[in-house]
Amino acid sequence: MGKIIDGKAVSKEIYADIKTRVSSYKNKYGRVPGLATLLVGDNPASRSYVRSKIKRSEEAGFTSYHRDMDNSSTREQITGQIKEWNNDNSIDGILVQLPLPEHLRKDTASIMDTIDPAKDVDGFHPENAGLLARGTPRFIPCTPRGIIELLKHEKISTEGKHAVIIGRSQIVGLPLSLLLLMKSEYGNATVTVCHSRTRDISSLTQQADIVITALGKPRFLTAEMIKQGAVVIDVGINRVDDPAAKKGYRIVGDVDTEAVLEKASAVTPVPGGVGPMTIAMLLLNTLNSFEIKQK
């Protein structure tokens, strides 16, 4: 029986450390980190993520700024708000929650590119993506950074291991592949990235020491797909109907957790695994942005 990696507990330790640092900075610099969040449209999952991000940042002692824009907002209205925040010295981090509404999907990159790279705590700006690709990261995207921090905390070494990532998104799969490849203590892995066109994913995951699922398909990864003793990191957040649940749905990951636990050495649960780490890393990136400015 494998270990369940408790991301929620690890994130609590990180929050406690951030809170202490923020209160010492308040005395030292007379200011606390500021995080601005922008939500466009009415995607219920996005609304709930943004609410958690605001709540956690306020609990940590940050100043929080938020703007809710309706579904029909234009590209210019959104970039106008971003530029205002770019010029506001009390704001250290800017986050535009993705995905944007359907009519703005094609403009996603150009909208995100208007965020000042020095405030791009998501790490999606080409300058930050480039710094990561070059091996000298400034802001590391929150979910991949959270995964590396979890591996560190659990002392799961990646050096020389075969890591198989399922998913090639700009938010998770692609930046995570770069981090695992980096010449660093929790890098130096051999990395395979699978996606929707990959043939015979099973034959690849069966060779993996570490499997990371970030594809958004409930219970995609089964016990047959992994080797004995593998580490499984589940990034999926999927809503599945459940009439017995109060809200009528339940959140599950991309992994058939119960079955996989019989064979794996460690598995991150959903909820309570990678998710809480993502928000903790957003706060850490914002704190780092604040610290860079004080130098």
Least CB distance to ligand GUN at residue 207 (A): 28
Examine the residue annotation and report whether 254 is marked as an active-site residue of this protein: no
Token couple for 161: 């291991």
Residues 127-156 that bind ligand GUN (CB under 6 A): 142-143
254 lines the binding site for ligand GUN (CB under 6 A) = no
Least CB distance to ligand GUN at residue 30 (A): 29
Residue of 92, 120, 122, 256 with catalytic role = 122
Alpha helices in the chain (DSSP H): 7-29, 44-59, 75-86, 108-112, 126-133, 142-153, 173-181, 201-205, 257-261, 274-294
Question: 36 forms bridges with which residues in the sheet?
Answer: 65, 94
37 lines the binding site for ligand GUN (CB under 6 A) = no
Closer CB to ligand GUN, 5 or 100, in the complex: 100
| Distance (Å, whole) CA 193 – CA 144 | 14
Token couple for 179: 């981090």
- Determine which residue in the list 33, 56, 92, 122 makes contact with ligand GUN, applying CB under 6 A: 122
DSSP state of 255: B
Within 13 A of 195's CA, how many CA atoms are on the CB side? 9
Residue of 81, 92, 97, 209 with catalytic role = 97
Least CB distance to ligand GUN at residue 278 (A): 6
User: Using CB under 6 A, which of the segments 12-20, 77-85, 89-97, 204-212 binds ligand GUN?
Assistant: 89-97
97 lines the binding site for ligand GUN (CB under 6 A) = yes
Closer CB to ligand GUN, 39 or 211, in the complex: 39
Strands across the sheet containing 162-166: 3-4, 266-267, 231-234, 210-213, 162-166, 190-194
- Taking each continuous run of H as one helix and of E as one strand, the counts in the chain are 10, 11
Closer CB to ligand GUN, 132 or 260, in the complex: 132
User: Using CB under 6 A, which of the segments 12-20, 66-74, 94-102, 265-273 binds ligand GUN?
Assistant: 94-102
Examine the residue annotation and report whether 12 is marked as an active-site residue of this protein: no
Examine the residue annotation and report whether 122 is marked as an active-site residue of this protein: yes
DSSP-assigned letters across all residues of 58-93:
HHTT-EEEEEEE-TT--HHHHHHHHHHHHT-TT--E
Contacts for 66 with CB less than 8 Å, ≥ 6 apart: 36, 37, 38, 39, 50, 54
Residues 237 and 45 sit within 8 Å (Cβ to Cβ): yes
96 lines the binding site for ligand GUN (CB under 6 A) = yes
235 lines the binding site for ligand GUN (CB under 6 A) = no
Closer CB to ligand GUN, 175 or 269, in the complex: 175
Least CB distance to ligand GUN at residue 164 (A): 21
| Distance (Å, whole) CA 219 – CA 44 | 22
- Determine which residue in the list 14, 94, 98, 267 makes contact with ligand GUN, applying CB under 6 A: 98
Binding site for ligand GUN (CB under 6 A): 95-98, 122, 142-143, 171, 278
Residues with catalytic roles: 53, 97, 122
